[in-house]
Amino acid sequence: MEVSFQARPINIKRAEYLKSQLLKSNFVDIVCHSSSDEDTIASARAMKWLLDKNNIPSRIISDSADKTFNYKNGDTLDISSQKLPNNPSGTVLCVDFSEYTRVSSELKKYIEKAKNLVCIDHHSGPEPILHGNNIYVDLSAKSCSGIILRFFEALKINPPEKIKQFLYCGMSDDLKKNKYLEFADSALFPAKTKEFMQDKNTKYLYTKIENELPTDDKIEVNKHLNILMSLNKSEKMFKDSLPEKIQYNSNGKFGYVIIPAGDEQWNSLGGDNKRTSAILRNFRLSALKNNSNLDSAAVFYPTNSGYRISIHSKGNNVLKMFEHIRKYFPEFSGGGHPERGGGGNSGLNPQECIRWTNSVINCIDDFYKSR
């Protein structure tokens, strides 16, 4: 048996082998990676459906699954890893990850004790969970949901509409992260990029599931993924208020908005969460797009544990900027990518937040003065 499991049409023997590994046990723990995203959750739900169909009890385990995944009312995850028993009673199936750095140390210990292990994934990493026939990794696949679709296809299994909708959601979200799909603020359907059109397997699979799903199902998923399209009245007001609050450094290269600790509007929106961070990200990107003199745009805002800056830079200066800040302000912790990043501080009182913010702003101003 070959090790690799392609998102291309799957050899029936390989698919049957995987299925037999899952069905031979009397219980399956389906494990998602930490910071569970749509793809790992959709993959887990589709596999749980298959196990249910074959009368094998199972449950979905996640270190950290946001409740926002439940765009279908009443559809919740089975269990969190905090409630785990000491030992897995049957098979452990890892979806959308296949190495230990993707889970907490508690979950790692749990997985290590499994009598039978299966992994389905499209990533590779430094600490593989297993080697051999039971690990199916296809690095060419753009989502684990896509691999699961191929798996069902090989076995001639036609999942119900609800499962297809989950898989469509998992695929769309990973394709968005890969820049294969682009969501415009107000469009009901994402645009397909050149990269998407050139990837034969992705194009085939995504088009297939698109054709099989009713329009309403697809719109529901897209609204869920495209947060800016489904803003409520107060979220919209907040979004519209941000450009008015922008301040600039001395040469206008750096634009920023400060949301003070204890800000009422911010707190009424639930503080730092998936929805507010989508709004802040949109503000930074539009500010950069609309002002050609601006090199970077940032927001300072309170989080659950402290205070934070999130920043985007057109000239890919984020990491250089952070390095510069640390020269004068060594306790600043920040990281990310050249084009976007963030840094934060925990346990500050409001007075300290102001001081922290001013220090960061002064350092960034100094960074731009020298350029």
Question: Considering beta carbons, is residue 35 or 267 the nearer one to Mn ion?
Answer: 35
- Candidates 39-47, 83-91, 224-232, 262-270: pick the segment binding Mn ion (CB under 5 A): 39-47
**How far does CA 91 lie from the centroid of its chain?**
26
Helix and strand numbers (H, E) in the chain are 13, 14
**Separation of alpha carbons 284 and 318, rounded Å:** 13
Contact 22, 151 (CB under 8 A): no
Position 364 contacts Mn ion (CB under 5 A): no
CB of 96 to Mn ion, least distance (A): 4
CB of 348 to Mn ion, least distance (A): 35
Binding Mn ion by CB under 5 A: which of 144, 148, 175, 299?
144
CB of 224 to Mn ion, least distance (A): 17
**Separation of alpha carbons 367 and 320, rounded Å:** 9
Position 295 contacts Mn ion (CB under 5 A): no
Bridge partners of 69, per DSSP, are none
Question: Considering beta carbons, is residue 96 or 138 the nearer one to Mn ion?
Answer: 96
Q: Enumerate the H helices of the chain as residue ranges.
A: 12-23, 38-53, 105-112, 144-154, 161-177, 194-198, 200-212, 215-225, 233-241, 264-268, 274-290, 318-328, 350-369
Q: Which of residues 202-221 bind Mn ion (CB under 5 A)?
A: none
Position 174 contacts Mn ion (CB under 5 A): yes
Q: Edge-to-edge strands of the sheet including 306-313?
A: 247-248, 254-258, 296-302, 306-313, 340-346, 333-336
Question: Considering beta carbons, is residue 63 or 96 the nearer one to Mn ion?
Answer: 96
Size of the site for Mn ion (CB under 5 A): 4
Q: Please state the φ and ψ torsions of residue 206, each to the nearest 5 degrees.
A: -70, -40
- Candidates 32-40, 44-52, 125-133, 236-244: pick the segment binding Mn ion (CB under 5 A): 32-40
Percentage helix, strand, coil for the chain under 3-state DSSP, each rounded to 5: 45, 15, 35
Enumerate long-range contacts of 45-49, CB under 8 Å, 24 or more apart: 45/163, 45/166, 46/145, 46/148, 46/152, 46/159, 46/163, 46/166, 46/167, 47/22, 47/93, 47/95, 47/120, 47/148, 49/159, 49/160, 49/163
Binding to Mn ion by CB under 5 A, coded x per residue (else -) over 151-170, reads --------------------
Q: Which of residues 81-120 bind Mn ion (CB under 5 A)?
A: 96
CB of 121 to Mn ion, least distance (A): 8
CB of 369 to Mn ion, least distance (A): 43
Question: Considering beta carbons, is residue 138 or 174 the nearer one to Mn ion?
Answer: 174
**Separation of alpha carbons 227 and 21, rounded Å:** 39
Position 39 contacts Mn ion (CB under 5 A): yes
Question: Considering beta carbons, is residue 92 or 95 the nearer one to Mn ion?
Answer: 95
Question: Considering beta carbons, is residue 138 or 272 the nearer one to Mn ion?
Answer: 138
Question: Considering beta carbons, is residue 190 or 302 the nearer one to Mn ion?
Answer: 190
Considering only CA atoms, which of 141, 142, 137 is closest in space to residue 118?
137
CB of 95 to Mn ion, least distance (A): 9
Question: Considering beta carbons, is residue 40 or 91 the nearer one to Mn ion?
Answer: 40
Closest CB to Mn ion belongs to which residue?
Answer: 39
- Candidates 33-41, 176-184, 309-317, 334-342: pick the segment binding Mn ion (CB under 5 A): 33-41
Question: Considering beta carbons, is residue 144 or 348 the nearer one to Mn ion?
Answer: 144
Q: Which residues bind Mn ion (CB under 5 A)?
A: 39, 96, 144, 174
